[in-house]
Structure 1
Amino acid sequence: MTDHNIDFSMVLASAVHDMKNSLGMLLNTLDELRTEHEESLSGSSKFNMLQYEAERMHNDLVQLLGIYRLGENNLSAHIDEHFVPDFLSEHMARHVPLLDGLGIDYAIEADDINGFFDDDLLTGVLNNTINNAIRYTKTKIRLTAREQDGYLVLGVEDDGTGYPESMQHTGTLSFKSLDFNSGSTSLGLFFASSVAKLHTEGDRTGSITLHNGGKYGGGVFEIWLP
């Protein structure tokens, strides 16, 4: 007899996990290819597009898995202490080959501070946000970190046209409020907001903000962690 009682969400989650791992291997191979054939590939718009889109798909799959775990109530934050400038440098380094290939300037302006957060969850948020900034920037991206009002504030800024009015936001997002017609951006913002909410201290909860301005006058994404 065929078992019709299949938990399709679990099947999907398993498939997404496998695809995420395969894309991770593909991204590593693309980095190696770029290094081996730097002269011919670094300025190749097709190769840069391939790497960008593979990174974007990988980020989407990481977020889908996170949201699945959130729905199953088994996504939690494992808080450790991290030296923030080093954490940001590691994540910028992952994107440097593509940034160089696209001719995008990048900078990190972080106070010498320690933060308490789940580095795996924040990695998913940062990678997606940097990838979005690469998509919309003209020539510059910067990562920022500061302490403000008892919160660690991590930011990603670019010099693009900024967030449209409908996307500018402060606080937390609900799944029902998302507009999936705007593409994967909404998924990324919901994931970032969910990760922020998992970081709590006393009666304070993490949140995200989207606005325009910053040093470059473009879009500014910030995640506030207590």
Structure 2
Amino acid sequence: MPDQENLDFSTILATSAHDMKNSLFMVLQSIEVLGSAENLTDEQHKSFADLHYQTSRVNSTLMQLLALYRAENKQLPIYIDEHYVNDIFTEVIDKNQSYLDHHDIQIEIDVDDQLMGYFDFDLITYLIADIFVNALRHAQKIIYLRAFIDDGYLNIQVEDDGVGYPEHMLAVSNNNQSEFNANKGRSGLGLLFAKRIVAEHKNKQL
């Protein structure tokens, strides 16, 4: 009997995540359509907004897994060009407008309309969106979006008035994937993803 072909679990996981991501995209579109119906009560609109938010979080995790897999295998496409930073904030807010409409969270933006930077627009927008979604989850009343040039570097900040990251999650940013502790309920995958994407953006090795 011939030897069974060895299975690469990481490849299987990445392929499955890609398929699930495509399906979730269709689900998110359907939720947006259903949630925009005019015959819904305020409570029903809020329920659809919450459902859209939670589905987006699942989709975000799948995107992170795919990006990390591709980065690990040197397959993550990076397209660096000059972009307006405010376009990122606009897109992030638009994608979460339904949730914002039904929750008492204020958004304050501090960015020059003409501020530009060199980065992969899709990856950085997705990264900021992931941080923003996390801020929505933990903010009490307000989220700040700021961007400015500091010592020659583009600095983009997302800040909320929640309790902040616990120490074990902050430690993940200085460790590798083996340091994750799933028993704590927060793996730190988002921080690892953020660190990897930012590391792909360099100027003269900085």
Q: Normalising TM by the smaller chain, what interval?
A: 0.7 to 0.9
How much does 1:38 deviate? 7.0
Distance in 2 between residues matched to 1:115 and 1:173, nearest whole Å: 29
Counterparts of 1:88 and 1:173 in 2: how far apart (Å)? 29
Q: Is the 8 A contact 2:80 2:118 kept in 1?
A: yes
CA-CA distance at 1:39 after TM superposition:
4.7
1:53 aligns with 2:54: yes
TM-superposed deviation, 1:43: 5.9
1:64-106 C-alpha deviation (Å, 9 max, x unpaired): 0011112212224220110111221111111111111122222
CA distance in structure 1 between the aligned counterparts of 2:161 and 2:123, rounded to whole angstroms: 26
- Closer/same/farther in 2, CA of residues 45 and 182 from structure 1, 3 Å limit: farther
Alpha-carbon deviations, 1:135-177, whole Å to 9, x = none?
1011211211111011111111111122234444797653234
Cα distance in 2, alignment partners of residues 133 and 20 from structure 1: 22
Distance 1:115 1:172, change over 3 A: farther
8 Å Cα contact 1:137-1:159 kept in structure 2? yes
Q: TM-score, normalised by structure 1?
A: 0.80
Matches within 5 A, 1:133-212: 133-168=135-170, 174-184=176-186, 186-204=188-206
- Quote the Cα distance in structure 2 between the aligned partners of 1:4 and 1:81: 46
- Whether the 8 Å CA contact 1:146–1:153 is kept in 2: the answer is yes
Distance 1:3 1:185, change over 3 A: closer
In the TM superposition, what whole-angstrom CA distance separates every residue of 1:33-80 from its partner, at most 9, and x where no partner exists? 222237525665533332221010000000000111122122242201
The RMSD of aligned alpha carbons is: 2.4
TM-score (norm 2): 0.87
Q: Return the letter of the residue paired with 2:53.
A: Y
Runs of at least 5 residues in structure 1 that lack an aligned partner in the other structure:
205-226
Aligned in 2, Cα 1:12/1:185: closer, same or farther, shift over 3 Å? closer
Which range is displaced more, 167-176 or 33-42? 167-176
Instruction: For residue 117 of structure 1, report the CA deviation from its aligned partner.
Output: 0.6
Query: What is the match of residue 93 of structure 2?
Result: 92
Aligned length: 204
1:125 aligns with 2:130: no
Identity %: 36
Give 1:224's aligned residue.
none
Residue 102 of structure 2 aligns to a residue in which SS? helix
Equivalent position SS for 1:200: coil
Match of 2:30 in 1: 29
